[in-house]
Structure 1
Amino acid sequence: MLEQLSSVFFDEANELLDNLESQLLTLGDNPNDSETIAAVFRAMHTIKGSAAMFGFTDISSFTHEAESAMDQVRNGVIPVTGELIDLLLKARDHIRNLLDAGAEVPENYKQVSEQLIIAFKIYVSKNGGNASLNQPVKKDVPKIKKEDKLSFSWRIKFRPSKNIMKNGTRPELLIKELTEMGTATVVPFYHALAPLSEIDSELCYFSWDVILTTGKSENDIKDVFIFLDDESKVEIEKIDLLPGENNRIGEILVDRKDVSREELDKILKEHRQLGVILVDKNMVSEEQVQSALAEQQHLKSLTPGGQVATPQSPASTQTLRISSAKLDQLVDLVGELVTFNARLEQEAQEKNIAVFKSLSEQCGRVVVLMRDVSMGLRMVPVSTLFSRFRRTVHDLAAQLGKHIEMATVGAETELDKTVIEKLNDPLLHLVRNSVDHGIEMPEDRVAAGKTSVGTVTLSAKHAGAFIMITVKDDGKGLDRDVIRAKGIQRGLISENDNLSDNEIYNLIFQPGFSTAKSVTSISGRGVGLDVVKKDISTLSGTVSIETEKGMGTTFILKIPLTLAIIDGMLVTIDNAKYVVPLNAISECIAYSMPAEEKGQRFVTTTNHGKPLNCINLREFFNFGKEPPAKQEILSVYDGDEVYGLVVDKILGSQQTVIKPLGPLYGNCVGINSSSILGDGSVALILDVYQLTGLIKNSSKKAS
């Protein structure tokens, strides 16, 4: 049991550290953000307390020192600077190392702890704080900066005169000014509102109650109404009820002087809902009850210190932590169920028994729901991936002396967690390449008419059955001549080769290729982009480049949404069966091949009045037989344009369990995986993006 609890501690601590890194980088950009400062402190405090509970004293004692320093930041004693952010990031990394070490902490880790503690003391001391960090700071007594004031809750009753707007005063702006002074709850009263036919647009029919929690004084509140006309009335009184407590509605009404204590005691003896009784007896109006209820909620939402409490999301208390291994096992079992259901459907069609077919259809619907739910469990937003690179950009920029920001677009886009894990390394290489080779030094950027701060942007969006991830920088772009010269020097191309720009740029994906003039800890060994190409290929994806000299470079990755189960369209070519991902298909078209195009790999037809460039898969896969008189075309979208795949016959859609091909078939163009059909035969899954890429290149050569 203790081992299981320790495992939970490690999981939660690692999650806190992941969030902590992001919070520290955000704090570096906004040093005065009190919410982020509080979040960093809470993370340190939680890790310290949990580590002490499970007996990890080295983690607890070290984290306590960092937490104590953050407490002084939280209380405004010491400032947040770049130096402190770097120190906290080092502390965060060190806590991670201590977690990995477990109960037996190496001696060198203890030395690092001591060095970092000394560094914290030096920073705190030179910035006017208390350097005796080993003395715990009392958390029970709130510290107040000299310029701050205690927050109190006020009850403000604003009853404007009917003619207030004729005097040039806008009462809604007065209410708005009140809400900007702190945390406010506004209750409008509209009992005096006239019928629509009698409303005068120059008259005011409303009044308001405002419950305000603020550090401002009563005089500050009165100043809001300083120019009020004599007929309007304002009552301001301090609320003596405790914030954060479950104050009864009767207590609030008594405190508001809406009812007396004696009247309240008498009413309570009737054992009915208080508000209903009071309204029935005309002791208070329905609006007064509503105002008191709003005050009750306002006070309940405050902490005892008078601050707004952050409510926990109901969903957060219902979250269940499950190991990824169990999730993978579930998806594998659902995959087997999909294969079994395909066989069941085939048998039902062949036997042609009505009851059997009905049960097969019902089973199919259940399997589809199970597949969607299990796959949904594995889908996670790419923000979990993108957030890892903020630290990379921060550290590399500091190391290179560059000023670089990282931006993200479409971080909420979801992708299979297995794909996410396999994308980490290729994206890391692309980000490092953009920071090192792409973004110029600040002085070079200014000389080129740019801002001194460069930007690396990571974006994600859906494109059919694929997700498109881009890594873009606004740097100097790729130098075609330098890359070509390096390619000639390494023997990859010759002087006489007439290559397109894309063919030249793709040389950077060759193993050992580097344009760096010297080997550093960041680049120069020719290892990186070749790994990107290889890793993306194993994911059945593609990588391409768009660049403009002086404007920047964009690396575009197209990755399948999932590596487990997809909806596919089953087609035949001769006697072979293939699967095309259903999300990539836009429509199906009947087709008769002209005699002059028979035997050609690439053909063109017309669809909706526009030319449609196609690939003849019978010729591409070298079947070598006469095609049938009637064929069909699958119109597919590759994220940019629409192309056609010519097949013999379309059999219909079905769920497809993806089975990877062995290494022997790794270089098969146009095919990326396989699937087992209901009859036990194997169908190959076509790589739509490779095939459309071939069509695209053939169209360019033809033109």
Structure 2
Amino acid sequence: MSANLDPIATFRVEANELLERIEQGLLDLSKRPADRGLVDDVFRSLHTLKGSGAMFGFDALAAFTHHCETAFDRVRKGEVAATQNLISAVLAAQDHMRNLIEGGSPDQEATGRALLEHIEREVSAASGPTAVAITPSQWRIRFGLPPNALANGCNPLALLAEMRELGECSIAADISAVPHLTTLVPSECFIVWEVQLLTDQPRSAIEDVFMFIIDDMELDIQKVEEDKVSDVAREAPASPTAAAQAQTPTANPQPPNIDGRQTSKSGDSVRVPAERLDELMDRVGELVIAQSRLSQIAAASLDLNLRAVSEDIERLSSELRDTMMVLRMVPVGTLFGRFRRLVHDLARDTGKTIELTTDGEATEVDKTVIERLADPLVHLVRNAVDHGLESPEQRRAIGKPEAGQVRLAARQSGGEVIISISDDGRGIDRARVRERGEAQGLISAGAQLSDQELLQIIFQPGFSTAQTVTNLSGRGVGMDVVKRTIDALRGSIDISSRPGNGSDVSLRIPLTLAIIDGLLVRVGTGRYVIPLSAVEECLALSVEEDLRSRGRSFISLRDSLVPFLRLRELFQTGTQPELHQKVVVISTGTERVGLVVDQIIGDHQTVIKAMSKLHEDIAMFSGATILGDGSVALILDVVHLVAAGQQEEAQLRAAE
């Protein structure tokens, strides 16, 4: 374990995981309020959060969570029904817990009191004849802590206090193992406690008291009414080092499962800060550049040993790059899970009935991409609910199911991930979009626009079709955020809408923003990189075909016409075309375009470098890379070039 690992930072990470578990459990419970397993899951997570908060000095969090746990315990006992209002109240309390973890606010005490009063009101309202009488049981518990428990922050008095909360209990201390004063080590624990407990809680609730140290202590639990057979005694581990690692607060244990126990040993996985992965990714990128330089030197040398070493380094750097890319990939499901709460709150605020479905959660994307997609997806989901879905009354009147559908889906296509947000609402009113676009000066009156161009207006800054400003929409900033973020990710947005049958917005995002496989080409005296995932095929362009296509810019490819762009003219290189030009056919989705280049140099592992502030607005390029000889090659923006080619094709067809 790293000596500089901040235990508070570790606690915050794991506490946020517990809060996510609580939130998902509550959202599931809102659909299945009679599921006792879900109730137990939420209760155990609250209990774990309370205990770990107290251990790390978050007293306000521990006290607030204790009151929430106490209220939810009544649901666990069957005394209170898990109503929608009670679940919403606990969800609001969960938001306050997150705020307390992050540092709180000046009015946190007043906010906490108001939330607890709200929960208490809902508990009182939910109390009724659903209560289930549970006969208390007598338990005999004997436990001894590991010798280093006190040094590692475990307070036995706190454990005894938690058992008192479970029911009536009597406690006796066995001090027979305490050594003579001359050999006593004050920081070690020698006392064994015997507890007689009368409680209506199950055995698991007793075990939960010791969940942080249960694997390293001696614990014997007996139910008195039974045959007094001892529970499985848990001995301290044979290795003192292992015990110390399990007890040290700065250690980073695996998060507990829904039963509150460790699911795996610490060696099965290691938590690594995201910034360390970023640093490692930078080092791998530099290694790839150095390897490219070495390959170039070896190719020009007659030394066979140098060539052999160069090939080994190339193989190892490629494997390291692939391994590093896998480490950075996270499933889209980690992003989709956040929207269950958003949809729950939107349904409450709008009075609409909404069902959220997800598909393709296992699709993996670079973690940096995932982080930057959160805000755009929030705006798109809110827009679908506010502008797209009708009210339950309107849906019934037109023969639709009362519950509106919002669907999030993800799939991989080549080097892209396509994330779509669709709904079955009213669709986009194109006449209203044009009217508002003309009123706001975004389009000229009577301008001829394709359907896609018209729909893309909703992403313009300041555009909104809302009649009034609400807490959901009307200011014209949400969809603008979507457009700017997707552009920054070198992605594209496709939108379709069917009047009366909903809309679909698809985000096309590159898998990674760090290292890609590219096709290195030459245009004039400059070299450029085309992302290999977008390349379909390469063709030769003879002088005759080049002359024949002047003014048309089309090539025939297997009985279909594909528009192409002459990069020499587009980049204004000032050079003459070479005799043996090549056409690189690229695509995004179903759209294709050819790029005429002078030479195809070959594959190239491309480390993406951001453009400078002076050049970041040049739409034709998405970044730059350093070649083996130290020169710079620009990375072509495939989405922009395909769009330019398709626009040129439309203009030529219109002219004909």
Letter in 1 for 2:42: V
Matched, 1:60 2:62: yes
The aligned runs of 1:612-691 (5 Å cut-off) are 612-691=562-641
1:384 paired residue number: 334
Offset, 1:585: 2.1
Which whole-Å CA distance do the structure 1 matches of 2:40 and 2:267 have between them?
A: 22
Which whole-Å CA distance do the structure 1 matches of 2:327 and 2:582 have between them?
A: 37
Q: Does the CA contact (< 8 Å) of 1:545 and 1:553 recur in 2?
A: yes
Which whole-Å CA distance do the structure 2 matches of 1:502 and 1:94 have between them?
A: 43
Offset, 1:3: 8.1
1:372-425 alpha-carbon deviations (Å, 9 max, x no partner): 122211111111111122222211221111111221111111111111111112
Q: Which moved more, 1:554-563 or 1:687-696?
A: 687-696
2:14 paired residue number: 12
Letter in 2 for 1:353: D
Which whole-Å CA distance do the structure 2 matches of 1:309 and 1:332 have between them?
A: 40
Q: Does the CA contact (< 8 Å) of 1:68 and 1:137 recur in 2?
A: no
Q: Does the CA contact (< 8 Å) of 2:89 and 2:122 recur in 1?
A: no
Q: Percent identity?
A: 43
2:122 paired residue number: 123
Matched, 1:482 2:432: yes
1:279-324 alpha-carbon deviations (Å, 9 max, x no partner): xxxxxxxxxxxxxxxxxxxxxxxxxxxxx98996548752211111
Q: Does the CA contact (< 8 Å) of 1:601 and 1:620 recur in 2?
A: no
Offset, 1:651: 1.0
Which whole-Å CA distance do the structure 1 matches of 2:356 and 2:511 have between them?
A: 24
1:136 paired residue number: 165
The aligned runs of 1:493-508 (5 Å cut-off) are 493-508=443-458
Q: Does the CA contact (< 8 Å) of 1:580 and 1:685 recur in 2?
A: yes
Which whole-Å CA distance do the structure 2 matches of 1:376 and 1:101 have between them?
A: 34
Offset, 1:349: 1.0
The aligned runs of 1:270-669 (5 Å cut-off) are 314=264, 318-593=268-543, 594-597=545-548, 599-600=550-551, 602-607=553-558, 609-669=559-619
1:448-474 alpha-carbon deviations (Å, 9 max, x no partner): 221111111111111221111111111
1:294 paired residue number: none
Secondary structure at 1:665 match in 2: coil
Which whole-Å CA distance do the structure 1 matches of 2:4 and 2:600 have between them?
A: 58
Normalising by structure 1, report the TM-score.
Answer: 0.72
Which whole-Å CA distance do the structure 2 matches of 1:315 and 1:620 have between them?
A: 59
Which structure has the larger Rg?
1
Offset, 1:600: 4.8
Q: Does the CA contact (< 8 Å) of 2:166 and 2:199 recur in 1?
A: no
Q: Which residue of the other structure, out of 75, 78, 96, is the alignment partner of 1:76?
A: 78
The aligned runs of 1:141-220 (5 Å cut-off) are 143=200
Letter in 2 for 1:9: F
Offset, 1:91: 0.8
Q: Does the CA contact (< 8 Å) of 2:355 and 2:405 recur in 1?
A: yes
Report the CA distance shift for 1:12/1:601 in structure 2 as closer, same or farther (over 3 A). Answer: farther
Which whole-Å CA distance do the structure 1 matches of 2:5 and 2:301 have between them?
A: 55
Report the CA distance shift for 1:603/1:352 in structure 2 as closer, same or farther (over 3 A). Answer: farther
Letter in 1 for 2:41: A
Which whole-Å CA distance do the structure 2 matches of 1:591 and 1:486 have between them?
A: 46
Which whole-Å CA distance do the structure 2 matches of 1:449 and 1:587 have between them?
A: 49
1:109 paired residue number: 108
Q: Which residue of the other structure, out of 95, 99, 102, is the alignment partner of 1:93?
A: 95
Q: Which moved more, 1:586-595 or 1:566-575?
A: 586-595
Which whole-Å CA distance do the structure 2 matches of 1:624 and 1:447 have between them?
A: 65
Which whole-Å CA distance do the structure 2 matches of 1:89 and 1:431 have between them?
A: 20
Letter in 1 for 2:287: L
Report the CA distance shift for 1:441/1:356 in structure 2 as closer, same or farther (over 3 A). Answer: same
Q: Does the CA contact (< 8 Å) of 1:601 and 1:615 recur in 2?
A: no
1:582-617 alpha-carbon deviations (Å, 9 max, x no partner): 22223333332514345558321324x544443332
Offset, 1:663: 3.2
Secondary structure at 1:622 match in 2: coil
1:36 paired residue number: 38
Report the CA distance shift for 1:61/1:310 in structure 2 as closer, same or farther (over 3 A). Answer: closer
Report the CA distance shift for 1:314/1:62 in structure 2 as closer, same or farther (over 3 A). Answer: closer
Normalising by structure 2, report the TM-score.
Answer: 0.77
Letter in 1 for 2:534: A
Q: Does the CA contact (< 8 Å) of 1:601 and 1:619 recur in 2?
A: no
Say how many residue pairs are matched: 543
1:174-194 alpha-carbon deviations (Å, 9 max, x no partner): xxxxxxxxxxxxxxxxxxxxx
- 5+ residue gaps in structure 2? 132-161, 169-196, 203-225, 234-257
Q: Does the CA contact (< 8 Å) of 2:355 and 2:406 recur in 1?
A: yes
Q: Which moved more, 1:436-445 or 1:26-35?
A: 26-35
Offset, 1:654: 1.8
Q: Does the CA contact (< 8 Å) of 1:390 and 1:406 recur in 2?
A: yes
- 5+ residue gaps in structure 1? 146-238, 247-307
Q: Does the CA contact (< 8 Å) of 1:68 and 1:136 recur in 2?
A: no
Q: Does the CA contact (< 8 Å) of 1:514 and 1:526 recur in 2?
A: yes
Which whole-Å CA distance do the structure 2 matches of 1:35 and 1:52 have between them?
A: 26
Q: Which moved more, 1:587-596 or 1:85-94?
A: 587-596
Which whole-Å CA distance do the structure 1 matches of 2:228 and 2:592 have between them?
A: 68
Secondary structure at 2:300 match in 1: helix
Q: Does the CA contact (< 8 Å) of 2:83 and 2:126 recur in 1?
A: no
Q: Which moved more, 1:615-624 or 1:358-367?
A: 615-624
1:510-533 alpha-carbon deviations (Å, 9 max, x no partner): 211111111111111111111211
CA root-mean-square deviation: 2.8
Which whole-Å CA distance do the structure 2 matches of 1:485 and 1:477 have between them?
A: 16
Which whole-Å CA distance do the structure 2 matches of 1:492 and 1:685 have between them?
A: 31
Report the CA distance shift for 1:662/1:244 in structure 2 as closer, same or farther (over 3 A). Answer: farther
Offset, 1:328: 0.6
The aligned runs of 1:249-260 (5 Å cut-off) are none
Letter in 2 for 1:41: F
2:221 paired residue number: none
